[in-house]
A and B are shown apart, each in its own frame.
Chain A
Amino acid sequence: MTDPYPAIQHWLIPRSVLAETRKRVQEEGQNVRESGALWLGERGDAARVLAVVFPRGKGVEARADKWKVTPEVFGTLTRWAKPQNLSLLAVVHTHLNGVPPRLSRSDREYSVQVPGILAIVIGEGGAETDHQKWGWYLYERGNYRHLTAQDLSGHFMLEADHLFQTCEADADAVRELT
């Protein structure tokens, strides 16, 4: 049987993806509610982020202590992503000021649980500029493992700018952002 989750050795992340993610989650959350983004790309030995999608509006629940995306949004996103051969690589969300950028028990239970998926937490409502201070977690062997600085330097490559799509999504549609 073909493995639907081929192992990823390296993640290739355009630097602008980090900046764009930070900027838009900050705008959306306004430091009063959590917000987030989904990174999509082609999954393989090397997985490059090719699209950043910001779920918001219909089908997204955002509070000071929770950011939740409904299955209807994931369905809409799947119909948009799969014809482009894009898969979900990472679920990124913010924690507000004073809440450490660590994956809480609820975050673990609510996040997608398949091998190789990343869960990333940006502190200070998205204002933390140093991505090394974000919480980076990898789902493997049935659990999320916190990635160390050594893991990050060994498996994550920040690229000079590579083209990627920036979109917003709700339960009805995915729309390109300019």
Chain B
Amino acid sequence: MESQVNLQEIKQVAPPPAKDTDVEVTVEYLPAAKPFHRTYDGTVTVGTVRSDAMTFFGVSDHRDRDTHQFFLEFNGQRLINMNQTLDQLLGPHRKGARFNLVEQITPGCAQS
């Protein structure tokens, strides 16, 4: 009986085997002590990764007197096409990607 329970637990925690199309994504944010890690299918868009990372780091695009927007940066370049897939960004043979999350504050874009 006990061993059956253990087998069930093992089934629950064991990650599914990685597919050829999986991409290991890491997003760093300077004030955070830990990075965001997740495995995505290569068809997932940059916008989805940005959104998931922002949720993890507890930040959001918002307006006060200014407009605050968060961007992913990859190889020193800001990513602006949120519809681009990870496959399109990384090419077919890349299995991992490391991004930085940065905040852009544009002054005076909101009415106070």
Chain A: residues with CB nearer than 8 A to chain B? 1-6, 42-44, 68, 70-72, 74-79, 81-82, 87-88, 105-106, 109-110, 112-115, 117
CB–CB A87/B33 < 8 A: yes
CB–CB A4/B102 < 8 A: no
Residue of A nearest to B75 (CB): A79
A78-B28, A88-B30, A114-B32 are known; give 17 further A-B pairs, CB within 8 A.
Answer: A4-B57, A5-B32, A5-B33, A42-B33, A43-B33, A44-B33, A71-B71, A71-B73, A71-B78, A72-B78, A74-B30, A78-B100, A87-B31, A88-B31, A110-B105, A112-B30, A114-B59
- B-chain residues with CB within 8 Å of residue A76 when the two chains form the complex: 76
Q: What interface size band does chain B fall in?
A: 20 to 34
- B-chain residues with CB within 8 Å of residue A6 when the two chains form the complex: 33
8 contacts between A and B (CB under 8 A): A3-B34, A4-B57, A5-B58, A75-B78, A87-B31, A109-B105, A110-B105, A115-B58
Chain B: residues with CB nearer than 8 A to chain A? 28-36, 56-59, 64-66, 71, 73, 76, 78, 100, 102-105
- B-chain residues with CB within 8 Å of residue A88 when the two chains form the complex: 30-31
Q: How far is the CA of A83 from the CA of B65 in the complex (A)?
A: 35
7 cross-chain pairs, A with B, having the tightest CB-CB distances, nearest first: A4-B32, A71-B102, A43-B33, A88-B31, A78-B100, A75-B73, A88-B30
- A-chain residues with CB within 8 Å of residue B104 when the two chains form the complex: 70-71
Q: How far is the CA of A43 from the CA of B59 in the complex (A)?
A: 18
- B-chain residues with CB within 8 Å of residue A68 when the two chains form the complex: 105
- Give which listed residue, B31, B57, B100, contacts A75 with CB less than 8 A: B100
CB–CB B102/A75 < 8 A: yes
